[in-house]
């Protein structure tokens, strides 16, 4: 009996020591650099905007946040790597409207479960699309573009950086609400699609403002509308697509931070607080604004709700448009 009591005491003490050690580790977090997986190519909007915020967070946390680009398979490659990482807070990742919401409806079987494999940390930003046309296009308004599409059903074309991107989904929503038929052409990257638009090989595009605005300013393309519910500060004279006559049109491309499921709540909370501090930084606000993006802080629960509501919205649009599911 006495021996059993001794063993029980040792076991309880060991458990207590383990809990204390874990608690100490979490309170000291982070003690080494953090890997930040971005499931897209370097130089695109997700990469550039994530680096702006990651730099500010690294200063706040006192440790480097190292961005690692893992593009491919509509973002699935990077998310799979994230879900397989240790859930100790030293590997986090970028998740957006595509990888967290649209892909749930677009693929027959995703190689990850958003709800089971990932833990939301918080939303980082919102960025908007601009409906742009080649500089030499005869269209002068959204109405002109719709008229041309109706007069030439199935002949006008638009492109985007892949199936399921906001450029693609925004284009499908536009087709549905405007009641037009147009040909969608997927590209491997945004720049490749924009090059064809500038060259007149595409009739229009819904492009991220960060990529579209430099081309607008250089006169290579012309804007007809913006996807937001309000006009963009960088394009104050350009109406929203809804203002221009397509009632109910709105597409917002958002991005945030996710971690592997099982990451300790204390670590999630610390990352979220650092994210909030970063988004409150004036330099970060100014940097985001230059790309046409807005800081959009949220709590983990708020981010989880956004992911769910957007998945429901785009599932409906994908089904209504009859977009074939991907394998």
| DSSP string for 207-265 | EEHHHHHHHHHTTSEEEEEESSSS--TTSTTSPBTTTTT-TT---EEEEEEEEETT--H
In words, the CATH class of domain 128-226 is: alpha beta
Hey, what are 4's tokens? Answer: 């059993």
Q: Where are the domains of the chain?
A: 34-126+253-321, 128-226
The distance in angstroms from the start CA to the end CA of the chain is: 62
Q: Are 45 and 160 in contact (CB under 8 A)?
A: no
- In whole angstroms, what is the distance from residue 194 CA to residue 253 CA? 18
Q: How far is residue 41 from each of residues 38, 188, 201, 205, 279, measured CA to CA in Å?
A: 8, 10, 24, 20, 23
Hey, what are 307's tokens? Answer: 């992911």
> Residue 161: its pLDDT value, please?
84
Give the CA diameter of the chain: 93
**pTM for this model (two decimals):** 0.84
Collapsing DSSP states into helix, strand and coil, what is residue 105? helix
Query: Which residue has tokens 């961005």?
Result: 67
Instruction: List the beta bridge partners of residue 252.
Output: 128
Which is nearest to 223 in space by CA: 234, 211, 212, 210? 212
> Residue 21: its pLDDT value, please?
47
User: Contacts from 61-65 at CB under 8 Å and sequence distance 24+?
Assistant: 61/30, 61/34, 61/270, 61/274, 62/30, 63/30, 63/31, 63/32, 63/33, 63/34, 64/33, 64/34, 65/33, 65/34, 65/35, 65/36
Spans of the chain below 50 pLDDT: 1, 7, 13, 19-22
Task: Tell which CATH architecture fits domain 34-126+253-321.
Answer: 3-Layer(aba) Sandwich (3.40)
> Residue 121: its pLDDT value, please?
98
Determine if residue 135 is left, alpha or beta; phi over 0 gives left, psi from -120 to 50 gives alpha, anything else beta: alpha
- In whole angstroms, what is the distance from residue 156 CA to residue 180 CA? 10
> Residue 8: its pLDDT value, please?
54
């Amino acid at each position: 009996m006495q021996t059993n009591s001794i063993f029980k005491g040792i076991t309880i003490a060991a458990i207590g020591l383990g809990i204390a050690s874990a608690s100490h580790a979490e309170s000291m977090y982070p003690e080494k650099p953090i890997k930040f997986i971005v499931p897209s190519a370097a130089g695109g909007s997700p990469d550039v905007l994530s680096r702006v915020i990651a730099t500010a967070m690294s200063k706040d946390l006192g440790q480097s946040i190292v961005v690692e680009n893992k593009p491919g398979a509509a973002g699935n490659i990077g998310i799979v790597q994230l879900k397989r990482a240790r859930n100790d807070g030293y590997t986090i990742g970028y998740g957006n409207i595509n990888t967290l919401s649209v892909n749930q409806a677009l693929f027959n079987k995703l190689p990850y479960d958003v709800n089971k494999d990932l833990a939301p940390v918080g939303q980082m930003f919102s960025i908007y699309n601009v409906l742009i046309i080649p500089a030499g296009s005869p269209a002068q308004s959204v109405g002109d573009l719709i008229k041309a599409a109706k007069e030439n059903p199935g002949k006008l074309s638009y492109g985007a950086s892949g199936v399921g991107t906001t450029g693609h989904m925004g284009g499908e929503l536009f087709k549905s609400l405007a009641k037009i038929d147009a040909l969608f052409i997927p590209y491997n990257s945004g720049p490749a699609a924009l090059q064809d638009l500038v060259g007149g090989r595409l009739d229009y595009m819904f492009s991220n403002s960060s990529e579209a605005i430099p081309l607008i300013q250089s006169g290579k393309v012309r804007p007809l509308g913006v996807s937001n519910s309000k006009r963009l500060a960088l394009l104050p004279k350009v109406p929203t697509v809804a203002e221009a006559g397509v009632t109910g049109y709105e597409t917002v491309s958002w991005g945030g931070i996710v971690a592997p499921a099982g990451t300790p709540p204390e670590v999630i909370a610390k990352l979220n607080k650092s994210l909030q501090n970063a988004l409150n930084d004036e330099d970060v606000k100014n940097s985001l604004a230059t790309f046409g993006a807005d800081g959009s802080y949220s709590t983990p629960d708020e981010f989880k709700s956004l992911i769910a509501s957007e998945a429901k919205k785009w599932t409906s649009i994908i089904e209504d448009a009859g977009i074939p599911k991907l394998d």
